[in-house]
Amino acid sequence: MTLGTRRVKSKWRPTVTQPTMRQVAERAGVSIALVSLVMREAPNVSDYRRQLVVDAAAELGYRPNVLARNLASRRTNTIGVVLNDLHNPFFAEIIDGLQNAADAAGHQVLIGNGRHSKAGESEMLETFLQFRVDGLVLVGSTASLSTIEAAAQITPLVAVGRTTRSKKFDTVNTDDKLGARLAVEHLLALGHSRIAHIDGGSGAGARARREGYAASMTTVGMADHISVARGDFSEIGGYKAARELLSRRQVPTAIFVANDLSAVGALDRAEEAGFCVPTDMSIVGYDNTSLAATHHLSLTTINQPREELGRLAFQSLLERLKSGRTAAVHRVVAPSLVKRRTSGPVHSREQAR
């Protein structure tokens, strides 16, 4: 008995293969060794022969195998940057300074999103280590110290916005306690005494800002007016914390918020509740992101020199890569107050209370 057959339409398609170094050499009429020298940008090749190889590679659409080349040289000329939260403009603005410094030094920057979680950060760290990046920069990291130190044992690492005295990696930070003091002193000078604080929860720098706020209030004899609402570095966190503060028996006349995103949420809630900012209530943020400077918000805030933080982070990596420095360096830059429209004198009726 003969079994019938059924024609099946094949889904196979011919694969497009990448041209090889040998094909480039044949097209240019030179040796494979010479092609390799050109692709590695070696200096001991004549301009004429270099151009032959470049033209042949362009005609064939050849792309050098960067990974193989880097494995041979033990350098990738790449820096892995893990951002705690890709949506926070503060972190993005740090990248500007880092990217400019990296470009000048001939390094590529790869960016990974930690997705606002320790697990996400750990995953990105592992990915970059597998890609054998020359160094790592963690921005606003909340990963455990042991996780960061383990990565620093493998490749040079700098943490931005992470206060620690670890001897295994470098840090670049703003003096957050000073920043909090500047915010409180500004509001005190405007006549406010009922100054509340919306903190940043477990976010990088939040603890120092909270402590700086409490210390500043205590120093001027206003420890009884210390009022903290737990938030986080997000708009919704600021909104919820402001809602809590405005529901208390003694409503604050001013709020110092742990970052600009959270301050936007607090501002929304205050205006939603019928408060006119700054006539009825002053609000001060932290970071001085591009968001704070928009005409609509015009948010009084504490400036962190974001591009400088990024530049210093790359500088630290370059010192380790070029000079072999192993001792940890912890850099701290000074913040400053930026006065805008969301802060003003305490209302006369509040002064009378």
Is the predicted pLDDT of residue 168 greater than 90, yes or no?
A: yes
Contacts of 171 (CB under 8 A, 6+ apart): 158, 159, 160, 162, 163, 164, 328, 330, 331
* Gap between the Cα atoms of 91 and 273, Å rounded: 31
Phi-psi bin for 58: left (phi > 0), alpha (psi -120 to 50), beta? alpha
Q: How confident is the model at residue 12 (pLDDT cuts 50, 70, 90)?
A: very low
- At residue 92, the pLDDT reads 87
Kindly state the helix (H) or strand (E) to which residue 336 belongs, with its residue range: strand 336-338
The pLDDT value given to residue 30: 93
Highest mean pLDDT, choosing among 74-78, 112-116, 158-162, 348-352: 158-162
For residue 4, the model assigns a pLDDT of 41
Phi–psi pair at 314, nearest 5 degrees: -65, -40
Per the CB < 8 A criterion, the answer to whether 316 and 286 are in contact is no
- pLDDT tens, residue by residue, 24-36: 999 999 998 888 8
Listed in sequence order, the residues at least 6 apart from 176 whose beta carbon sits closer than 8 Å to its beta carbon are 163, 205, 208, 209, 212, 335
88 touches 265 (CB < 8 A): no
Q: What is the pLDDT of residues 276-331, one digit of tens each?
A: 999 999 999 999 999 999 999 999 999 999 999 999 999 999 999 999 999 999 99
CA geometry: angle at 286 spanning 230 and 144, to 5°? 60
How far is Cα 248 from Cα 267, in angstroms, rounded to an integer? 17
Contact, 157 vs 135, CB < 8 A? Answer: yes
The structure's pTM equals: 0.81
- At 152, which amino acid appears? A
pLDDT value of position 74: 63
Q: Among residues 202, 94, 199, which one has the least CA distance to residue 143?
A: 202
Task: Flag whether pLDDT at 85 surpasses 90.
Answer: no
Spatial distance between the Cα atoms of 142 and 200, rounded to a whole number of angstroms: 12
Cis peptide leading into residue 278 (ω within 30°): yes
SS in 3 state form for 64-116? CCHHHHHHHHCCCCEEEEEECCCCCHHHHHHHHHHHHHHHHHCCEEEEEECCC
pLDDT tens digits, one per residue of 177-223: 999 999 999 999 999 999 999 999 999 899 999 999 999 999 999 99
C-alpha to C-alpha distance for 181 and 170, rounded to whole angstroms = 26
Which residues lie closer than 8 Å to 36 by C-beta, 6 or more apart? 21
Q: In the chain, where does DSSP find H-type helix? A: 21-28, 32-39, 47-60, 66-73, 89-105, 118-130, 145-152, 176-189, 206-219, 235-246, 260-272, 290-293, 306-323, 348-351
Largest CA distance in the chain: 107
